[in-house]
């Protein structure tokens, strides 16, 4: 059998000799390169070599800087808010923030932490990076010079890494969903504002002051017919989700409501409940202080999107002129003298100027619907008419549960008498609510309420006897159950 021969292994001395030769050649090349080529050309050559010799990666990284120049980057804020909902319960490090005006604590993920998410089965990785300010010597291009060096400001950004194959899906679908989620989260945390909207001396005016709307009214606490309450909620839900529909049919994205009925039936509470439900700011417009049609238009420009414009008690605040500029004179209790016309108010509600904004609700309240010009009440201006009725049995049960914190079935023997009295007499929720807070003893409260309702029944019977067939106010009173017409 022939014997195999193996190549001889290089000796250590030959390896050292080869290494020294290569090192000398590299140093000689580097010296010649630095001497023969300018610094800018050397930098370009090095960058080119790094670019072409850099191993290609299948991953794509999107960077969300906290600022775009000096302007805050909305995508950074949206991504940060979205990632707060994706924090891993096993995270070892979290950031805690809270501003002075906020009532809640924000939990955010910390620097260098990673969050793994997925979208339509596509795995993505998020990472928060914060680069601290650095001071380095040299003659670099950017930064602020300090003692001959360069100052690099702090930089914050969020990285999103995923496979390059899914670039179009991530940018066209995943990122918009992040923006939508962040907006929903922001709306939930929003503090509703109440703003006073009026003009001064015929000038443009604006919101002079604003306060937080601390009104606790919600749809759960409203003493209103459950059917009507559900109809209002359904109408609001349908309105806020139909942006594209309104755009398609060519209508301004707004909704008009008319709340009418006797005083004390909960019109202001319903407005507060709508604002708390939608998280819309309220602009209170005082028509008596509006200087003219031009001021009315300018006031519209002062309102923001996602807001409620409220004009309360329009029937008794001013004597609204008709489209010819002549005001009705058959209601002596109404103030006269506004400097704007009905046509100006109509244009303010549904004309070209009403399109200066999106997702707005306009609410009129009145005690006397019949006093308003029919042109003001038609659909497109006041789309939904809600009759705020006298207290119903269902409304009383809501009040009793909220105010007395009792199970109404446990007092059925006492409540049966109260319900019968409420059915046969016109009593407002405000009147009953006032009696429900007079004592902490439930028996005392219910007994006092029975006496109040019986006394009111006797007084009303006497008034009806004296008035014969009744007066104008009796004609205005509508059925005891609330109505909603759209």
Q: 402 is written with which tokens?
A: 């909220």
Phi and psi of 417, rounded to 5°?
A: -65, -40
Domain boundary among the residues 139, 156, 189 is at 189
Neighbours of 62 (CB within 10 A): 18
214 and 312 co-located in one domain: yes
Assessment of whether the complete model's pTM goes beyond 0.75: no
In this prediction, residue 308 carries a pLDDT of 92
pLDDT digits (tens, 9 = 90+) for 239-268: 999 988 988 888 888 899 999 988 888 999
In this prediction, residue 468 carries a pLDDT of 54
355 and 403 co-located in one domain: no
281 and 320 co-located in one domain: yes
Angle between helices 442-467 and 412-424 (to 10 degrees): 20
**CATH code of the domain in which 338 resides:** 3.40.50.300
Neighbours of 56 (CB within 10 A): 5
In this prediction, residue 479 carries a pLDDT of 36
129 and 223 co-located in one domain: no
**Residue 152's closest CA among 177, 131, 129, 133?**
133
32: Cα separation from own chain's centroid: 66
In this prediction, residue 101 carries a pLDDT of 64
In this prediction, residue 196 carries a pLDDT of 85
Task: For residue 42, tell me if it sits in a domain.
Answer: no
In this prediction, residue 481 carries a pLDDT of 39
CB 224 within 8 A of CB 270: yes
Task: For residue 45, tell me if it sits in a domain.
Answer: no
Q: Which domain holds residue 175?
A: 59-189
In this prediction, residue 169 carries a pLDDT of 94
370 and 231 co-located in one domain: yes
**Residue 277's closest CA among 353, 201, 218?**
218
| Count of residues in the chain | 486
Element housing 175 (H / E): helix 175-189
In this prediction, residue 475 carries a pLDDT of 37
Neighbours of 440 (CB within 10 A): 8
Domain boundary among the residues 161, 189, 217 is at 189
Domain count, the chain: 3
In this prediction, residue 199 carries a pLDDT of 61
CB 166 within 8 A of CB 124: no
241 and 334 co-located in one domain: yes
In this prediction, residue 75 carries a pLDDT of 92
CB 319 within 8 A of CB 287: no
Domain boundary among the residues 330, 362, 387 is at 387
Q: CA-to-CA distance for 377 and 155, rounded, in angstroms?
A: 56
374 and 416 co-located in one domain: no
Q: What is the DSSP letter of 7?
A: P
Q: 265 is written with which tokens?
A: 């039936």
379 and 420 co-located in one domain: no
In this prediction, residue 474 carries a pLDDT of 40
Q: CA-to-CA distance for 427 and 455, rounded, in angstroms?
A: 12
In this prediction, residue 155 carries a pLDDT of 81
Residues of the chain scoring pLDDT < 50: 139-148, 202, 323-326, 328-329, 335, 337, 470-482
226 and 105 co-located in one domain: no
């Amino acid at each position: 059998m022939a014997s195999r021969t193996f190549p001889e292994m290089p000796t250590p001395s030959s390896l050292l000799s080869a290494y020294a030769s290569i090192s000398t050649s590299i140093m000689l090349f580097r010296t010649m390169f630095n001497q023969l080529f300018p610094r800018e050309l050397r930098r370009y050559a090095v960058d080119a070599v790094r670019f072409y010799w850099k191993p290609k990666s299948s991953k794509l990284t999107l960077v969300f800087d906290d600022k775009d120049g000096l302007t805050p980057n909305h995508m950074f804020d949206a991504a940060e808010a979205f990632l707060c909902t994706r924090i891993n319960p096993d995270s070892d490090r979290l950031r805690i923030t809270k501003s002075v005006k906020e009532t809640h604590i924000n939990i955010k993920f910390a620097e260098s932490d990673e969050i793994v998410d997925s979208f339509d089965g596509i795995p993505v990785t998020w990472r928060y990076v914060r680069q601290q300010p650095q001071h380095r010597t040299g003659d670099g291009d950017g930064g602020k010079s300090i003692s001959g060096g360069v100052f690099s400001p702090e930089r914050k950004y969020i990285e999103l890494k995923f496979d390059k194959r899914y670039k179009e899906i991530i940018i066209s679908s995943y990122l918009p969903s992040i923006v939508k989620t962040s907006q929903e989260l922001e709306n939930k945390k929003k503090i509703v504002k109440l703003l006073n909207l009026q003009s001064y001396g015929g000038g443009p005016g604006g919101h002079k002051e604003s306060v937080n709307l601390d009104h606790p009214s919600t749809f759960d606490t409203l003493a209103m017919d459950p059917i009507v309450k559900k109809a209002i909620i359904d109408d609001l839900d349908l309105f806020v989700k139909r942006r594209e529909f309104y755009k398609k049919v060519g209508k301004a994205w707004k909704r008009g409501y008319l709340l009418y009925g006797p005083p004390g039936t909960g019109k202001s509470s319903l407005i507060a409940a709508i604002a708390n439900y939608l998280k819309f700011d309220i602009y209170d417009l005082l028509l008596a202080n509006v200087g003219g049609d031009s001021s009315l238009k300018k006031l519209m420009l002062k309102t923001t999107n996602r807001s409620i414009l409220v004009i309360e008690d329009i029937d008794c605040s001013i004597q609204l002129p008709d489209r010819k500029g002549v005001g009705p004179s058959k209601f002596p209790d109404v103030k006269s003298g506004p400097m704007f016309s009905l046509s100006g108010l109509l244009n303010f509600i549904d004309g070209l100027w009403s399109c200066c904004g999106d997702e707005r609700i306009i609410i009129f309240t009145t005690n006397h619907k019949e006093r308003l010009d029919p042109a003001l009440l038609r659909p497109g201006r006041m789309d939904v008419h809600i009759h705020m009725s006298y207290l119903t049995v269902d409304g009383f049960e809501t009040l009793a549960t909220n105010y007395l914190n009792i199970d109404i079935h446990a007092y059925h023997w006492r409540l049966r008498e109260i319900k019968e009295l409420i059915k046969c007499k016109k009593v407002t929720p405000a009147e009953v609510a006032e009696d429900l807070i007079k004592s902490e003893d439930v028996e005392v409260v219910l007994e006092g309420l029975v006496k109040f309702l019986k006394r009111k029944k006797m007084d009303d019977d006497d008034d009806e006897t004296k008035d014969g067939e009744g007066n104008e106010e009796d004609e205005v009173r509508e059925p005891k159950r609330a109505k909603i017409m759209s």
